Amino acid sequence: MIGAPPMIRAYEGDDRTALQEAMEADLTAWGAEDLSRETLHFTDVTATDEPPIDRLMLACQSQSLFSTGRRAVVVFGAEKISAEDSLPLVAWLENPDGETGLFLVYGAKLNKATKLHKALSKVGEFKTFDAPKDYAMPKWACDRAPHYGFSLKLALAQQMVDQVGADTSRLNAEFGKLREYLSQELSQHKGRLELTAEILAQVLSDQSEGSAFHFQDAFGLGDTPRAIHLLRQLLSHGTKAIPIVAGISRRSRLLLKAVCLAERGAGQDEIIRALAIPPFFYTKMRYPEQMRSRTRAEWCRAVVRLTEIDFALKSGGLSDHRIHDFELALLPLFPHQQRRSR
């Protein structure tokens, strides 16, 4: 291969914002012009469609019609490249075109046992971008704020996470909104502009669906203090009790089913198929830990009790306007803190 080697990169992880930024930086460093970039989405296709591997190989081997010099091929959904389909790509990686950079974005963990992974490891670089755990998200928000020209105290970062949700993409979107809203102040301010509670109250979106999702996670994990905190956030933002109960009822039924399967000796793959959830979701949402937070009998009681609460809410026996009564109704569903370590 004559000249400098091509840039070959593979990206994985659930922090999609950091991943996208790193890929854009690599594309800039590679130096391919916009017209010399081709983006492919490796998805399942029908029999009448051109196989995606054929499109990928054509992109790697073709010359650009619009410019000369370096080219870049960006592939999303690279985890869907089968072992059979990967063979021509493996062959190309043995002697890649020095003017073509290849950038593979994986939506799931890389399988290191594949021929494609081994071929990539010889000529390329792997980059992993894992989002911080929920408990570390406020610290992440504090560290991220300077990227947009702000400073943010930890207590307000916690408020921001509670309101928007523990999701890096959403938080980045809100930081971008804050930067646009405060563009004049930022242009006139020397150094970083400190975000205040008043500013956050004016600008932040109320992502109650995100908070509801994290409440379900805290409930499933048996994290009573965090669950109660998120429950109060949801109720104070006007979220109705019925959808809250519906969410944790569904989660409880799924976890009860998973626990029953595990007790019968089912493996992880069988449990994932039975629950009809993506494998990545099973790991990201810490389902194994949620399954261990209660016994099968406790999950059974939770399902029964939530059915009773749902009936009480719909029949008028329990009102979501009386927040304290609703909290008391849910409290017995949480395991005692000293039992969470078992």
* Residue 319 burial (CB count, 10 A): 12
The pLDDT tens digits for 1-28 are 345 678 999 999 888 888 988 998 998 8
| Same domain assignment for residues 165 and 226 | no
Q: What is the pLDDT of residue 338?
A: 38
Instruction: CATH number of the domain at 265, please.
Output: 1.20.272.10
Given a cut of 70, is residue 173 above it in pLDDT? yes
| Same domain assignment for residues 175 and 54 | no
Q: Is residue 334 part of a domain?
A: yes
Question: For tokens 């409440």, what's the residue?
Answer: 215
> Among residues of the chain, what percentage have pLDDT more than 70?
85
Given a cut of 70, is residue 198 above it in pLDDT? yes
Give the mean pLDDT of 175-196.
Answer: 86
The pLDDT tens digits for 70-113 are 888 999 888 888 899 999 999 999 988 778 899 999 987 778 88
Prediction pTM value: 0.55
- DSSP secondary structure letter of residue 64: P
Specify whether the CB–CB gap between 234 and 305 falls below 8 A: no
Count of structural domains within the chain: 3
CA-wise closest residue to 292 among 341, 227, 225, 251: 341
Specify whether the CB–CB gap between 32 and 59 falls below 8 A: no
Domain boundary among 81, 100, 128: 128
Q: Is residue 2 part of a domain?
A: no
**In the predicted model, what is the mean pLDDT of the chain?**
82
Of 104-108, 150-154, 161-165, 321-325, which has the strongest mean pLDDT?
150-154
CA-wise closest residue to 23 among 35, 12, 34: 12
| Same domain assignment for residues 169 and 239 | no
Given a cut of 70, is residue 319 above it in pLDDT? no
Residue 127 pLDDT grade (very low, low, confident, very high; cuts 50, 70, 90): very high
- Backbone dihedral angles phi then psi of residue 200, each to the nearest 5 degrees: -60, -40
Residue 342 pLDDT grade (very low, low, confident, very high; cuts 50, 70, 90): very low
| Same domain assignment for residues 166 and 273 | no
Q: Domain of 194?
A: 134-203
Q: What is the pLDDT of residue 14?
A: 83
Q: Is residue 238 part of a domain?
A: yes
Q: What is the pLDDT of residue 35?
A: 52
Give, in degrees to the nearest 5, the angle at Cα 318 between 313 and 321.
95
Q: What is the pLDDT of residue 2?
A: 47
* Residue 311 burial (CB count, 10 A): 12
* 8 vs 114: CA distance, rounded Å: 17
Given a cut of 70, is residue 64 above it in pLDDT? no
The pLDDT tens digits for 28-61 are 888 866 557 788 887 644 444 567 888 888 888 8
| Same domain assignment for residues 91 and 18 | yes
Q: Is residue 140 part of a domain?
A: yes
Give the mean pLDDT of 321-332.
Answer: 69
* 194 vs 116: CA distance, rounded Å: 47
The pLDDT tens digits for 242-288 are 888 888 888 899 999 999 999 999 988 889 888 877 676 677 778 89
Q: Is residue 97 part of a domain?
A: yes
Angle between helices 168-181 and 16-30 (to 10 degrees): 70
Domain boundary among 101, 128, 155: 128
Domain boundary among 128, 161, 189: 128
| Same domain assignment for residues 238 and 309 | yes
Q: Is residue 3 part of a domain?
A: no
Outline where the chain has alpha helix (H): 16-30, 52-61, 86-94, 115-123, 137-144, 154-164, 168-181, 183-188, 197-203, 208-221, 224-236, 241-263, 268-275, 279-284, 287-292, 296-315, 323-330
Q: Name the residue type at position 163.
A: Q
Instruction: CATH number of the domain at 193, please.
Output: 1.10.8
